Structure 1
Amino acid sequence: MKSISLLACLLVLAATTAGCRTGQQGAAGAGAGSVPGHSHPLPRHALVGYLHNFDNGTGVLPLGDVDDSWDVIVLAFADDMGEGRIAFNPAPELERTRLIADIAAKRAQGRIVALSFGGELGSVTLQSQRDEDNFVRTTAEAIDTFGLDGIDIDLEKVAGVVHGAPVVRHLVSAVKRLHAMYPNLYVSMAPEHPYVQGGWVAMEGIWGAYLPLIDGLRDELDLLHVQLYNNGGLPSPYAPDPLPGGSVDMMVGSARMLIEGFELAGGQGRFAGLRPDQVALGLPSGPLAAGNGQATPADINRAFDCLTTATACDTVTPARPYPDFRGVMTWSINWDVADGRVFSDPVGTHLRQIRTAR
């Protein structure tokens, strides 16, 4: 674990008006999972799910009622309050005091609870240094108030993430500042695949627009789970046509690009791969959770086995097995519960069996 000198703490404190902890304090509270911004290590193979802070037909599920299948629970979403300020305003059904207690209980069990920015209609305002300062300050306030492990970046179309947009460079800087304040801060990203692997097709507009963000935060990033849904098939170097949504080939091909890297369109260089433990699959939990991209649990488990052992593959195979490939993310816990846990039961069981057997 990293530590922060007293001088660094004072500098961060002066810049953001948020609190700062020394490495020794963080270490003291780590076992109980009680120190905000100090996450437990991810299990070798993790199941990640988003928990709605709104009712879109599934109802609002209290965090304390989330079953033990989930290793990481991402609260969706924070609100953009303007001028860089964010706030987490729990739905009335979640009940603020109970939610804080539920977060503490989940973290004491070894789970990770993070707050997500974005979603289909969500945004953050990061156009200036003032916005960035406000973002850092108010995000730290949310982490401290709710006792969170970290943050998740799920900015989509309305957030204006395009090549050269100020939000990209300010977000890189802001996350680095937060990571200096909370050295064990959990950081994840859930971009749609055109923003990432799309850089193989084009490097303009939204295409590949997350790649500078990923590159800028490689050292801070715990987990990247690209959304393999709502955008059709995946163009890749491995086939002349896009890999079909929901197929084993699409899941394996997407992860292979993130781990092994790929050439950028127009001769603009190459995306260097991430560590396998920084990558997970991102899929809908069932037929109602997304417009397209659904995969059967059996195929999800086959894709995971293909990536970790180079067995059970279809056409696309990894260059070598990646036994530390991290796991699977889904949108969402709420839809999974509404559908009778058709996702978390088979996929979560498979991940747990593998991590205990190896």
Structure 2
Amino acid sequence: MSGSRITRVLGAGLAALLAAAGLAAPAAAEGAKPVRTAVSATDAAADTCALKPKPAGKVLQGYWENWDGAANGVHPPFGWAPIDDPRFAAHGYNVINAAFPVIRSDGTVLWEDGMDSTVRVATPAEMCRAKAAGATILMSIGGATAGIDLNSTAVADRFVDTIVPILKKYNFDGIDIDIETGLVGSGSIATLSTSQANLIRIIDGVLARMPAGFGLTMAPETAYVTGGSVVYGSIWGAYLPVIKKYADNGRLWWLNMQYYNGSMYGCAGDSYSAGTVAGFVAQTDCLNKGLVIQGTTIKVPYDKQVPGLPAQPGAGGGHLAPSAVAQAWNHYKGALKGLMTWSANWDGSKGWTFGDNVKALQGR
């Protein structure tokens, strides 16, 4: 996932310099830099809210950055904003992926202010307000720099033990699996590798301890999915047995494969550059038809596909212009569940053109 935690390290230093100089950080787009208000008795009473089910209609799913992407110079002027900032909903974002928790080497999950440079997490009350305004909110696990040792069952179990209380306290509606390191296949689609087995152990552990209807999405890079059409082994196709398990048993809400930062693949090992409508169509159709690996078919129908695209130039390799996004979306005549983007904050930094375009395409 682009915009990883690596880019935050400049944030703390810049913030300190600004403070020393008596200067304010850059203002957010469409108004002053958002700040939290004091917690009132009403806020305290609203710290708990009901789990939201899988959205019935079309979705625009955006990653919410818990760090300040303006202060670190990545995408000014829109940096950190409260998760209940009304601009997200106004520009079409009805599913929010909160990115990312810190994962310690022993599997301990952290979700707290200051856990990394410039990080501020949403409060339970802010989560409830965002949900009341229409958002479904998932916690995104992983990203480019937040890896987890998938070769250890002890780490997997510690991860589950520490993330479940966080998911409950903060009123999350689901989890998004965005693990981009440490997952490899065994070379045989019928035999799980240790890392695949432990990822399933994590997902099963979380789902078993959360209420019925708790959501599950996945956002793998293309190499981990349709890349398996080229060769199955190592990272190539490594998500496929995991996707198949939860697509087949009905627990997967949808798949958010990242159509960026790498080649796109069809079912026959054909490849396309990121940022092309042809590549978008080829791998979307491949998953709907069913990708056959060593006699095993992995099928993700259109209504369980929410392809991921960069929100703006610079957010990820393979940005699609709004007209190309429209061409790709309209090709399916409403069959796709929605679109995902990295990230909502990136979109806000460039005038919300991605969200506004997709919202209009979805007729919302």
Asked if Structure 1 and Structure 2 have the same fold, meaning a TM-score greater than 0.5 normalized by the shorter chain, the answer is yes
Q: Residue 171 in 1 paired to residue 186 in 2?
A: no
Task: Specify the SS of the correspondent of 2:285.
Answer: helix
Q: Residue 195 in 1 paired to residue 219 in 2?
A: no
Q: How does 1:207-286 map to 2 (within 5 A)?
A: 207-218=236-247, 219=249, 220-231=251-262, 233-237=263-267, 242-264=271-293, 268-286=294-312
> What corresponds to 1:60 in structure 2?
80
> What corresponds to 1:333 in structure 2?
344
Rounded Cα–Cα distance in structure 2 between residues aligned with 1:76 and 1:108: 20
Mark the CA change 1:161 to 1:95 in structure 2 (over 3 Å): closer, same or farther. closer
In structure 1, runs of 5+ residues without a counterpart are 1-31, 310-322, 354-358
Rounded Cα–Cα distance in structure 2 between residues aligned with 1:325 and 1:339: 26
Check conservation: 2:128, 2:171, Cα contact below 8 A: yes
Check conservation: 2:66, 2:80, Cα contact below 8 A: yes
Check conservation: 1:247, 1:295, Cα contact below 8 A: yes
Aligned-residue offset at 1:83: 2.0
Rounded Cα–Cα distance in structure 2 between residues aligned with 1:125 and 1:200: 26
Rounded Cα–Cα distance in structure 2 between residues aligned with 1:211 and 1:336: 30
Aligned-residue offset at 1:142: 1.1
TM-score normalised by L of structure 2: 0.76
> What corresponds to 1:6 in structure 2?
none
> What corresponds to 1:137 in structure 2?
161
> What corresponds to 2:25 in structure 1?
none
Matched length: 297
Task: Specify the SS of the correspondent of 2:264.
Answer: coil
Q: Residue 118 in 1 paired to residue 142 in 2?
A: yes
Check conservation: 1:62, 1:94, Cα contact below 8 A: no
Aligned-residue offset at 1:128: 3.0
Q: Residue 306 in 1 paired to residue 331 in 2?
A: yes
TM-score normalised by L of structure 1: 0.77
Rounded Cα–Cα distance in structure 1 between residues aligned with 2:98 and 2:150: 21
Rounded Cα–Cα distance in structure 1 between residues aligned with 2:301 and 2:347: 29
Q: AA paired with 1:172?
A: I
RMSD: 2.2
Aligned-residue offset at 1:270: 3.6
Check conservation: 1:161, 1:206, Cα contact below 8 A: yes
Mark the CA change 1:153 to 1:348 in structure 2 (over 3 Å): closer, same or farther. same
Rounded Cα–Cα distance in structure 2 between residues aligned with 1:132 and 1:126: 7
Q: Percent identity?
A: 29
Q: How does 1:75-154 map to 2 (within 5 A)?
A: 75-90=98-113, 95-96=120-121, 99-154=123-178
